[in-house]
Amino acid sequence: GENVEQHPSTLSVQEGDSAVIKCTYSDSASNYFPWYKQELGKGPQLIIDIRSNVGEKKDQRIAVTLNKTAKHFSLHITETQPEDSAVYFCAASRAGANNLFFGTGTRLTVIP
Amino acid sequence: GAVVSQHPSRVICKSGTSVKIECRSLDFQATTMFWYRQFPKQSLMLMATSNEGSKATYEQGVEKDKFLINHASLTLSTLTVTSAHPEDSSFYICSARALQGAGGYTFGSGTRLTVV
């Protein structure tokens, strides 16, 4: 089955700096890669996703890049703000499957 | 966008009692719903997948007689924790998917279960 690894487990950045979280996956058939933000006591919220037919996707301060050959994808947050502080999870899914495989999460702290 | 409503958000129950958690897709029909369990500072662990009108598929190690899942309609799935014990205390999260193989996954807000 799919194995998704995520690094780092914790990340602290100064407000205004950029944050990068990286994930690798093992199943070359995976083709859908969402990123979720989870605040304390709440369910995960989708912040951005990418499918395997594109290499990069951007939405304002958030971007995701995908390297299919290397089987890794990354989340980039620019101009970080204190409200970006949360736990971020990457995930992977394959076409025709009905499940998401989650990374282990990254606790991001943005220091004002 | 797609919204999944999960209730209750918090529940405290006595050991030995049963607790039901509801997961509703508000603006779409969910052919498939998922139930996860999350321990503090850990990732989401898939417990079971439920398809409308059929039996749920449980992940290895998850007791189907303890965690009863019902997906009676395209907008509602329920998870019942039967004969709850303190070790069942956890954060339970549901997720729904609108279209098989195409739709994204939308998560509920989670239920914090505390068994005393």
Chain A closest-CA separation from residue B80 CA (Å): 19
- Decide if pLDDT at B78 tops 90: yes
- Decide if pLDDT at A96 tops 80: no
Residue B89: alpha-carbon gap to chain centroid:
14
Confidence band (pLDDT; 50, 70, 90) for A97?
confident
Q: What is the pLDDT of residue A74?
A: 98
| Mean of pLDDT over chain A | 94
Mutate to test the interface with B, among A46, A87, A88 (most CBs of B within 10 A): A46
Q: What is the pLDDT of residue B53?
A: 80
A104 in reach of chain B (CB within 8 A): yes
A36 in reach of chain B (CB within 8 A): yes
Highest mean pLDDT among A61-65, B29-33, B41-45: A61-65
Q: What is the pLDDT of residue B29?
A: 86
Report which secondary-structure segment, H or E, holds A9. none
Give the closest residue to A10 by CA, choosing from A109, A111, A110, A112: A109
Q: What is the pLDDT of residue B88?
A: 96
Q: What is the pLDDT of residue B72?
A: 81
- Decide if pLDDT at B102 tops 60: no
Tokens of A16: 């205004």
Burial class (CB in 10 A: 0-12, 13-18, 19+), B116: exposed
| Mean of pLDDT over chain B | 91
Q: What is the pLDDT of residue B4?
A: 94
Cα Rg of chain A, angstroms: 13
Chain A closest-CA separation from residue B16 CA (Å): 25
**Between chain A and chain B, how many beta carbons pairs sit less than 8 Å apart?**
51
Tokens of B104: 């994204």
Contact, A106 vs A84, CB < 8 A? Answer: no
Chain B closest-CA separation from residue A52 CA (Å): 13
Confidence band (pLDDT; 50, 70, 90) for B103?
low
List Cβ neighbours of B52 (8 Å cut-off, separation of 6 or more).
B30, B31, B32, B71, B72, B73, B74
Q: Strand A30-38 to strand A45-51: parallel, antiparallel, or no bridges (unpaired)?
A: antiparallel
Cα Rg of chain B, angstroms: 13
Confidence band (pLDDT; 50, 70, 90) for B86?
very high
- Taking only the tens place, the pLDDT of each residue in A20-73 is 999 999 999 999 999 999 999 999 999 999 998 889 999 999 999 999 999 999
Task: Give CA–CA dist A104/A8, Å, rounded.
Answer: 9
C-beta atoms of B107 and A43 within 8 A: yes
